[in-house]
Structure 1
Amino acid sequence: MGENSKTVRLGILGCANIARKVARAIGLSPNATLCAIANRSKEKAEKFAAENGFPASVRVYGSYDQVLEDPGVDAVYFPLPTSLHVRWAVMAANKKKHVLVEKPVALEVAELDRILEAVESNGVQFMDCSMWLHHPRTAHIQDLLFSVPLSANNSIGPVRFIHSTSTMPATPEFLETSLLWDQPNQTLATIHCSFLSHTSMDLAICGSNGSLHLRDFIIPYGETIFVAGIRDCGSKPSTKWLEISGKTQLVVDAVNKSLELGCKSVCL
């Protein structure tokens, strides 16, 4: 367990580039430590560990199963291709490992349901890697929108319009996606995601009494980890993140359906 009994011990399945950033974040976290890394090629895992300066205490494996069998691993992070998530996330949950999955979590809602069923039946925590949800600014925005009385001077008031963009340049095979959200209470939202545009992370929220603008709303954040409370204090896994990931997966499925229909609009 180390000097701090509340430290959460994480294992990583796969050596994708995004795992480099997450491994650095784990190293900077006061309540988490990286204890294992695995790849289907042990040589690649060893090279990955050396390139990223992992301490000698990090165990290097040549198969994913070895991480799941490691009793010194509390939680597992999956930077694997989406098509592999359901298999390994279900296996990890069945081994009583808490699960942190890269986004998108699954190829379709049916696969996500299999993952969520496994984590719930095994009493382990599930989260995906949508990091901006955990930033303190996001909580402050929620307070401005929902917690502050509408009569207060610093209230944005009832939300009328939301516009967000998340874009970055990539290779030509990627696509652009635009979503339109029209609620019965006169709230309209446009959400634009693209791998064909310059990097942008913009958010604008306009209400009856004010507006809010952010140019960098997608920022990694080290949230207090749930796993230690579950492991050490008998806490129950939070189900909030299951619901959020489920809604996200519905949007992903709608995007896939739109592509199948020749990029026609799809209503949720």
Structure 2
Amino acid sequence: MDLAVYGSNGTLNVEDFIIPYEESSATFSFTSGAKFLDLHIGWNVKPQEVQVACELPQEAMMIQEFSRLVKGIKISRLRLDSKWSSSTRSTQLVLDAVKNSIDIGFKPVQL
């Protein structure tokens, strides 16, 4: 599954969003601050490609992180890590905004 996010300040493209081409790495490209060249014959910047190396497949890393959090709370009596609740809430807000934009004819939606 591909993911493409376009905004007024840049773009983000992920070609292997759900199932990566390789388990050992993932790539994405982004462009920031792109403007047309004179006479509109191209762009002033090219997309930057970023490769992220992974020691384990993403599914194993999710289980590993979940286990670490549960162990910390259950055994070490640590407090709940707010990183994940904040991250999931932000993700849901973006997904809701995308759906709302689609529902109202692909118009901009404020977050």
When normalised by structure 1's length, the TM-score is 0.24
CA distance in 1, matches of 2:73, 2:85: 16
- Per-residue CA deviation, residues 24-67 of structure 1 (Å, 9 max, x unaligned), is xxxxxxxxxxxxxxxxxxxxxxxxxxxxxxxxxxxxxxxxxxxx
| Partner residue in 2 for 1:214 | 50
CA RMSD of aligned residues (A): 3.6
Task: Tell me, yes or no, if the aligned pair for 1:229 and 1:235 is still in contact at 8 Å.
Answer: yes
1:231 to 56, 74, 78: 74
CA distance in 1, matches of 2:6, 2:30: 15
The number of aligned residues is 81
CA distance in 2, matches of 1:225, 1:265: 39
CA distance in 2, matches of 1:217, 1:254: 31
2:28 to 202, 205, 210: 202
SS at match of 2:88: helix
Residues 1:217 and 1:267: Cα distance change in structure 2 (over 3 Å): farther
The unaligned stretches of length 5 or more in structure 2 are 22-26, 33-47
- Per-residue CA deviation, residues 202-221 of structure 1 (Å, 9 max, x unaligned), is 13477xxxxx6324679613
SS at match of 2:12: strand
Quote how far apart the aligned CAs of 1:238 are.
0.4
Which structure would you say has the larger Rg? 1
| Partner residue in 1 for 2:101 | 258
Taking every aligned residue pair, what percent have the same amino acid on both sides? 23
User: Greater strand share, 1 or 2?
Assistant: 1
The unaligned stretches of length 5 or more in structure 1 are 1-165, 168-175, 183-187, 207-211
Quote how far apart the aligned CAs of 1:263 are.
2.2
When normalised by structure 2's length, the TM-score is 0.51
Task: Tell me, yes or no, if the aligned pair for 2:12 and 2:28 is still in contact at 8 Å.
Answer: no
